[in-house]
Amino acid sequence: MPNNKSNEALLNGSEERPYPPGRIKIAEALRVLLREKDFGAITTAEIARTAGVTEALIYKYFKDKRDLLHQVLAEYLEIYLRTTSMDLKGIKGALNKLRKIVWTHIHVYATDRVFAKILLIEARNFSDYYHSEPYKRVREYTDVLREILEEGIEEGVIRDDLSPAFMRQVILGAIEQLCLTGVVFNREISPDELTENLCDFIFKGIVKPPRK
Amino acid sequence: MPNNKSNEALLNGSEERPYPPGRIKIAEALRVLLREKDFGAITTAEIARTAGVTEALIYKYFKDKRDLLHQVLAEYLEIYLRTTSMDLKGIKGALNKLRKIVWTHIHVYATDRVFAKILLIEARNFSDYYHSEPYKRVREYTDVLREILEEGIEEGVIRDDLSPAFMRQVILGAIEQLCLTGVVFNREISPDELTENLCDFIFKGIVKPPRK
Amino acid sequence: MPNNKSNEALLNGSEERPYPPGRIKIAEALRVLLREKDFGAITTAEIARTAGVTEALIYKYFKDKRDLLHQVLAEYLEIYLRTTSMDLKGIKGALNKLRKIVWTHIHVYATDRVFAKILLIEARNFSDYYHSEPYKRVREYTDVLREILEEGIEEGVIRDDLSPAFMRQVILGAIEQLCLTGVVFNREISPDELTENLCDFIFKGIVKPPRK
Amino acid sequence: MPNNKSNEALLNGSEERPYPPGRIKIAEALRVLLREKDFGAITTAEIARTAGVTEALIYKYFKDKRDLLHQVLAEYLEIYLRTTSMDLKGIKGALNKLRKIVWTHIHVYATDRVFAKILLIEARNFSDYYHSEPYKRVREYTDVLREILEEGIEEGVIRDDLSPAFMRQVILGAIEQLCLTGVVFNREISPDELTENLCDFIFKGIVKPPRK
DNA sequence: TATGAATGAGGTTTCATTCAT
DNA sequence: AATGAATGAAACCTCATTCAT
C-alpha cells in the first residue's frame, strides 16, 4: 500500500500537530457510540463518559454537539476521498473507472458502518447539512463520479442524451438504497456481487433486447 | 375521478365514525408544521398551539409524539396506496405500468412535500421505523413495483437475470435520490421530465449501443 | 350465620335504595385494582376502564378520587364493625373478649387484603385521614377494644396502673406490625397462631418469672 | 459526647469528600419541606426553590425524586445506627439494654419529626420500599433489638417460648403506634414516660398477678 | 489542558377534573 | 344515568451548554 499514513493516524490530526488526547478520545467515543445507536439518541453526557473526560471538554474542542459529528464525518471523508482518487489511478476507460468507483463506494459502506450510518441515516436529518462543510466534501466525492460519466460521454461509450448530473443521481441513489437496508438491519453487504449486478443494470438497462 | 371519497375525508376517519374534532385538528396541525420544519424541531406545545387545543389532548389520541407522526404517515400511505392501485387499472403491459408507477411515485413527492419529507428525511431517522406499522405499509407500496417487474419478466419484456427485488431497490433508490434534492432545497420537481429520463435510463442503460 | 344481609349486598347500598349500577361498578373496580397496586398508582382512567364506565361518571358519584377511597373504606368498616360486635356477643370475661377481638382483627387482615392494605398502608398517607369520616369509624372500632380493657380493669383481671388508652395503642400497634409484613409481602397470615402468641405476650409479658 | 463527628457533618458527606454545596442544599431543602408537608405534596420545583438551585441539579445528584427521599432517609439511618450502638455501650443486662433501646427509639421519633414522618408515614407507601436500600438499613437497626432479646433469653431473664423475631415485631409495633399519633397530630412525645410505661407493659404483661 | 459545579430552557407526559349533551 | 370531548396545571425529567478555577 502506497499510503505512508494510516487511517488511524489521520483521525488523530496531522502528523506534526496531532490532536490533544482529550479531543481524540471524544471523537473516538462518538465513533464507538455510533456503532450502537443513533446520533440523536447519544447524549453529551454519554460521550463524555465513554471518552473518560468531562462534558465541558467537548465544548473546548467542538462548537457544539453537531459540530462534533460534522468533524468526525469530515475526518472520514478526508480518508475516503484520498482512497478513492488513489484507487482510480491507473485504470483505463470510463466504464472500468465507473465500475471501480461503484465498488469502492459500496465497499466503504460495507466495511465502515459508522461512516455509512452517518451518511445514509443521520446526515440528511440535519436541515443545515446541505449547507455544511462536510456536505461540500461529499459533493467533491460525488463529483468524481460525474467526471467519470463526462469522460465516458467524450469517449463515446456513454450515451450523451442524459445529463451526467442526472445519471450520477440515479447511480448514487441506487447505491445508497442497496446499502441502506444492509446498514439498517446490520446485514452483510457484498461489494463484489452488488457491483456486478448494479453495473449490469446501469450499463444495459432492464429491458430485454429483442431477439436477433 | 371515480373516488367517491375525497382524500380530505380520509384524513378525518371513516365516514360512519369520523375522528373527533380535536384529533383532526392535531393531525392537521402536524401536517402544517411539517411543511416548515423538521419533525424533531417541532414541539408538542407548538402542535397544540397550532391546533388550538391543549397539549394533553394530543396524548388522549396518540400514544406519544412519535405515534402521532406514525399515524399521520399511515393516513398518507392509505391514500396513496389507493391512488396507486387505482392509477394502474386499465394499463396494459408491464413497461407501461412501470412507467406509470414511476410517474405516480415522483408525482406524489413533487406535490405532497409533507409526505415526501416524512418519507425521505424523517422516517429513516427513527431507529424503530423499520419495524413500525407504517413501514409495513410502505412495503406494500413498493411490493406493487416488484410485482410489475415480475409481470414484465413473465411477459418476456424484462430481463430475467436480475432479481425483481434487486431491480426494485435500484429504481426506488433512483427515484428517492432524484426527489430528495428537490425536497431538501424546495425546488420544483417535474414528474413528466424525471419519469421520461428515468425510464429511459432504466430501460436501456447508459452504455451507448454500438453503431450498426 | 345470623346475618340476614350478606356483605356483598352491603357494598351495594341499602336494600331499599340500592346503589345505581355505575356506582357499584366503580367501587368494585377500585377494590379489584387495590388487590394489585397502591392507591396512588391507580389512575381514574384505570378505574373507569376497569369499571367499564367513563371517567366522568366517577365524579357523578364521588367528590373526587380520595372520596372514592374513603367511601370504599367506609363500606368495609361498616361491615367489620357489625361483625365485631356480633362476634363478641355471648362471650364472658374481659380476657376472653380480648382474645376474641384480637383474633377477629387479625382474621380480617388475614382474609381481606384490600381492606388491610387501605388501613395499614394507604390511609395514614393522607394527611387529612385523621380528620376524615372513615377515621372516626376506625376509632369506634378501636374503642371497642378500649372498653374491653376497661371492663377487665373493673373485673380486676387487668392491671389498673396503665391507662386503657395506652394499652390499646400497644395492642393495636402489635397487631398491625405483625400483619403488615404479611400484607406487604403477600404472605400467609395465621390468625390462630398469631393470636395465641400475641395474647401470651400481652397477658404475661416477656420477663421470665423467678423460680419459686 | 465521644462523637468526634457531628451529625450535621454526616449529612454533608464524608470528611475528605464532602458533598458539593448543591447536593447539600437540596437534601436540606427536602428535610425542611418534610417538616411541613407530605412527601407526595412536595414538588421538585418546590425543592429546588427552597434549596436555591435549579430543578435540573436535583437530577444531577439523585436518580429521581424518590431516590432523593431514599438518600435522605439513608443519611438519617446512618446517624441513628451509630447513635444506637454508641448508646448501648457500657450497659449491662439485656433488660437494661432493652429499656435503653426503647428509649432511644422513642427519643428519635420524639425529637426528629422529619425522620419520624418518613419512617412512620411515607416509607411504607412506596411499594418498592420493602426492597429498597434504606429498608435494609432499617432491618440492621431493628436487628439490634432482636439481638438484645436473644441475649436476654440466653441470660435467662427473657422467656424462651416466644421467638425473638416475634417479640421484636410486637415491641416495634407498639413503639410505632405510640409515636404515630404524636407525629400525626404534632403533639409532644415524652420518651421517659412512654418508655417507662411500655417497658412495664412488655416486661410484665397486662394481667394482674393473682394475690398471694 | 481539563474539571466540577451548576444552569436554562424546554420537553414530553400524566392525571384529576369539568362541562355540554 | 351516563358519555364524549376537552382541559389546566403541574409533574418529572433531559440535555446541551457555560463558567470559574
Please report, for the domain that includes residue C106, its CATH number: 1.10.357.10
| CB of B64 lies under 7 Å from some atom of strand E | yes
Range of the domain at A33: 1-62
Q: What is the DSSP letter of A64?
A: S
Q: Average pLDDT of C43-70?
A: 93
Q: What is the largest CA-CA distance in chain A?
A: 72
Average pLDDT along chain B: 88
Q: Are residues A82 and A99 in the same domain?
A: yes
CB A80 within 8 A of CB A108: yes
Is the pLDDT at C57 greater than 90? The verdict is: yes
* pLDDT computed for residue A82 by the predictor: 87
Is the pLDDT at B160 greater than 60? The verdict is: yes
Rounded, the Å distance between the CA of B45 and C1' of E20 is 26
* pLDDT computed for residue B10 by the predictor: 60
Element of type H or E holding D71: helix D65-88
Closest protein residue to F7 (Cα–C1') = B54
* pLDDT computed for residue A16 by the predictor: 67
pLDDT tens readout for residues C99-122: 999 999 999 999 999 999 989 988
> Which residue, D172, D164, D167, D63, is CA-closest to D119?
D172
CB D170 within 8 A of CB C102: no
Q: Give CA angle at C121 (C115, C126), nearest 5°.
A: 105
Q: Are residues A44 and A146 in the same domain?
A: no
Q: In chain B, what percentage of residues exceed pLDDT 90?
A: 58
Q: Are residues A70 and A105 in the same domain?
A: yes
| Residue B28 within any structural domain of the chain | no
What is the distance between the alpha carbons of residues C97 and A13, in angstroms, rounded to a whole number? Answer: 89
Listed in order, strand segments (DSSP E) in A11-97 are none
| CB of A40 lies under 7 Å from some atom of strand E | no
* pLDDT computed for residue D7 by the predictor: 61
* pLDDT computed for residue C90 by the predictor: 92
Distance of CA C9 to the CA centre of its chain: 18
Residue numbers in A near B127 (CB within 8 A): 37-38, 41
Q: Are residues A22 and A95 in the same domain?
A: no
Rounded, the Å distance between the CA of D22 and C1' of E5 is 8
Q: In chain B, positions 85-114, which contact chain A (CB-CB < 8 Å)?
A: 95
Q: Are residues A30 and A129 in the same domain?
A: no
pLDDT tens readout for residues A102-118: 999 999 999 999 999 88
Which phi and psi (to 5°) does residue B13 adopt? 95, 175
Query: Which residue of B38, B156, B177 is in closest CB contact with A208?
Result: B156
pLDDT tens readout for residues A39-98: 888 999 999 999 999 999 999 999 999 899 999 999 999 888 888 888 899 999 999 999
* pLDDT computed for residue D185 by the predictor: 87
According to DSSP, the residues that pair with B107 across neighbouring strands are none
CB contact under 8 A, B175 and A173: yes
pLDDT per residue of chain D (212 residues) written in tens, 0 to 9: 334 455 666 666 665 677 899 999 999 999 999 988 888 889 999 999 999 999 999 999 999 998 999 899 989 898 888 888 888 999 999 999 999 999 999 999 999 999 998 889 888 777 678 888 888 888 988 999 999 999 999 999 999 999 999 999 999 999 999 999 899 888 999 999 999 999 999 999 988 776 65
* pLDDT computed for residue B157 by the predictor: 94
Q: In chain A, positions 5-34, which contact chain B (CB-CB < 8 Å)?
A: none
pLDDT tens readout for residues B34-43: 888 888 889 9
Residues 6+ apart with CB under 8 A from B115: B73, B76, B80, B108, B109
Is the pLDDT at B93 greater than 60? The verdict is: yes
According to DSSP, the residues that pair with C158 across neighbouring strands are D207
> Which residue, D202, D177, D211, D196, is CA-closest to C145?
D177
Q: How confident is the model at residue C15 (pLDDT cuts 50, 70, 90)?
A: low
| Residue D209 within any structural domain of the chain | no
> Which residue, C191, C195, C192, C102, is CA-closest to C144?
C102
* CB proximity B181 to A under 8 Å: yes
- All 3 cell numbers of residue A164? 451526467
CA distance C208 to chain D (A): 5
- All 3 cell numbers of residue C13? 347500598
Is the pLDDT at A9 greater than 70? The verdict is: no
Q: In chain B, positions 43-82, which contact chain A (CB-CB < 8 Å)?
A: none
* CB proximity D207 to C under 8 Å: yes
Q: How confident is the model at residue C4 (pLDDT cuts 50, 70, 90)?
A: very low
The label of the residue with cell 458539593 reads D20
The label of the residue with cell 390468625 reads C191
Residue numbers in C near D149 (CB within 8 A): 206
* CB proximity C1 to D under 8 Å: no
* CB proximity C204 to D under 8 Å: yes
User: How many interface pairs between A and B have CB atoms less than 8 angstroms apart?
Assistant: 133
CA dihedral sign, ordered D134, D136, D140, D142: positive
Is residue C13 helix, strand or coil?
A: strand
Q: Which nucleotides of E are covered by protein (CB under 7 A)?
A: 1-20
Q: Are residues A2 and A87 in the same domain?
A: no
Q: In chain A, what percentage of residues exceed pLDDT 70?
A: 91
Q: How confident is the model at residue A15 (pLDDT cuts 50, 70, 90)?
A: low
* CB proximity C180 to D under 8 Å: yes
If you measure CA to CA, which chain A residue comes closest to B155? A208
- All 3 cell numbers of residue B212? 450498426
* pLDDT computed for residue D1 by the predictor: 36
Q: How many CB atoms within 10 Å of residue A23?
A: 21
Q: Are residues A46 and A135 in the same domain?
A: no
Is the pLDDT at C197 greater than 80? The verdict is: yes
pLDDT tens readout for residues A75-84: 999 888 888 8
Q: Are residues A70 and A169 in the same domain?
A: yes
Q: Are residues A56 and A116 in the same domain?
A: no
CB D12 within 8 A of CB D47: no
What is the distance between the alpha carbons of residues D145 and D81, in angstroms, rounded to a whole number? Answer: 12
CA dihedral sign, ordered C184, C188, C191, C196: negative
pLDDT tens readout for residues B96-136: 999 999 999 999 999 999 899 888 888 877 767 888 888 88
Residue numbers in D near C200 (CB within 8 A): 161-162
* pLDDT computed for residue A184 by the predictor: 86
Burial of D46 (0-12, 13-18, 19+ CB in 10 A): middle
| Residue D71 within any structural domain of the chain | yes
> Which residue, C145, C51, C54, C143, is CA-closest to C97?
C145
Domain final position from A62, A84, A108:
A62
Rounded, the Å distance between the CA of A128 and C1' of E15 is 39
CB contact under 8 A, C170 and D174: yes
Alpha helix stretches (DSSP H) within chain C: 7-10, 21-34, 44-51, 55-61, 65-88, 94-111, 113-117, 133-155, 164-184, 191-204
Q: Are residues A12 and A44 in the same domain?
A: yes
Q: What total of structural domains would you count in chain C?
A: 1
**Domain harbouring A27, CATH code:** 1.10.10.60
Is the pLDDT at A1 greater than 50? The verdict is: no
